[in-house]
Amino acid sequence: MRLPHSFYRRADVVATAQELLGQHVVRATADGIMRARIVETEAYNGPHDRACHAYGHRRTPRTETMYRPGGVAYVYFIYGIHHMLNVVTHEADEPYAVLIRAVEPLAGTDLMLANRKLSRLPNEQPPKGTGNGPGVLCQALGITRALDGTDLVNGTELWIEAAPYVAAAEIIASPRVGVAYAGEDARLPYRFRIRDSIWTSRAK
């Protein structure tokens, strides 16, 4: 079962970021299908969040996707190298999004490894390679700007399926990564990860 529009359109991006933990990202390509469990997210709290691309209602060709109704993907390119996968939330014209920061591979791992040009999962703990880190997971799942604006509820290339919520006691909240430019807002505890998962990104 895919997550419905109502899941994405609720006006509480911080709650949605926590509830996305445990849900399954599914990516379908010509080469096959991949499935991964979300283990780390970050909330971007719209116009009042200095760390958000849409801070102050900034509206540009890039941020336009965030103004769409909740339930589409916001994918952008950063540092000349990496793509970032976000889930747009709230109703139309309300620019909020959740960054998917890390996933645990569940199926199609061979495809993810091929996309990453690796032959096998590394042995080290935590394992690096297919899911830990927002740029790495996009490469593993073959996600680029071609998927910006993709409909997660009715689309055929990328969607999210419902899985049990992660209990609050299992969720660790901490400040977001790489947003020092956001001043006070950089300290907000909007990064969420599953306590015992070995698949989250490195703590900073």
Partner DNA sequence: ATGTCGATTTGCT
Partner DNA sequence: GCAAATCGACATA
Q: Which residues bind DNA (CB under 7 A)?
A: 42, 44, 51-54, 58, 60-63, 66, 74, 76-82, 84, 86, 97, 99, 128, 133-137, 176-179, 181, 201
Provide the 3-class DSSP secondary structure of residue 178.
Answer: coil
Name, in order, each residue with C-beta under 8 angstroms of 121's C-beta and a sequence gap of 6 or more. 105, 109, 113, 127, 129, 130
For the chain, helix (H) and strand (E) counts, in that order, are 4, 8
Q: Report the alpha-carbon distance of residue 119 to residue 112 in Å, rounded.
A: 10
Report in angstroms how near the CB of residue 99 gets to DNA at its nearest. 3
Contacts of 9 (CB under 8 A, 6+ apart): 69, 70, 71, 89, 90, 91
Residue 75 bridge partners (DSSP): 85
Largest CA distance in the chain: 45
Helix (H, G, I), strand (E, B) or coil at 188: coil
Closest CA to 135 of 178, 96, 92, 72: 178
